[in-house]
A = this chain, B = another copy of it.
Amino acid sequence: MRVSSKAHYGLRMMTEFAKAYGGGPLSIAEVARVEHLPLAYLEQLASQLRRGGLVESTRGVHGGYSLTRPADQISVLDVVTVIEGEVSPVECVSHGYVTGTCQREGECASRGLWVRLKKSIDAVLSQTTLAELVADQSLIDSMAPVSPEPMR
């Protein structure tokens, strides 16, 4: 029961895009710099996010990525779903599940549990938007003006 660090990276990248929203596109080189994430890997993730319709790209010199809609209209669930696929604790409660695939379908008592679990996860992840994450972060920043860290 864990979210991949892939999705985690994707989310961090998305919050950077969210911060830059309104201005020009933000390059992944910049994201890699401020988030200390491997650039080549971010490239892959950014492509996925674009194909998932969450960001759009601009190529060339002052290119980069920008959100396709305001940060308060993109939930964490959107991001996680694009990167990890549908969040679903077991196959039989996912959207594309074909009835009858599981032979125990009729006699299975735990399916109700998994449905509840999925709903619960979906609820938490869809309630939080990128805008809120960014707001929280600027709150943190303003409260704790830190001295420049040596970092590593």
Residues of A within 8 A of B (CB): 1-3, 5, 8, 11-12, 15, 36, 76, 80, 84, 87-90, 103, 106-110, 112-114, 116-117, 120-121, 123-125, 128, 133-134, 136-137, 139-141, 144, 146, 149, 151-152
Contacts and interface: CB of A to CB of B under 8 A. Distances in A.
Contacts of A110: 11-12, 15, 76, 133
A128 to B, nearest CB: 5
Contacts of A151: 103
Contacts of A112: 136
A144 B84 CA distance: 37
A97 to B, nearest CB: 13
A121 B152 CA distance: 34
22 contacts: A1-B1, A1-B3, A1-B87, A2-B87, A2-B88, A2-B89, A2-B90, A3-B89, A12-B110, A36-B103, A106-B146, A107-B141, A108-B137, A108-B140, A109-B133, A109-B139, A113-B124, A113-B125, A116-B124, A116-B128, A117-B124, A121-B121
A149 B106 CA distance: 11
Given A121-B121, A124-B120, A152-B103, A1 B109 contact: no
B88 A1 contact: yes
A136 B11 CA distance: 39
A8 B121 contact: no
Contact of A3 (B80, B90, B106): B90
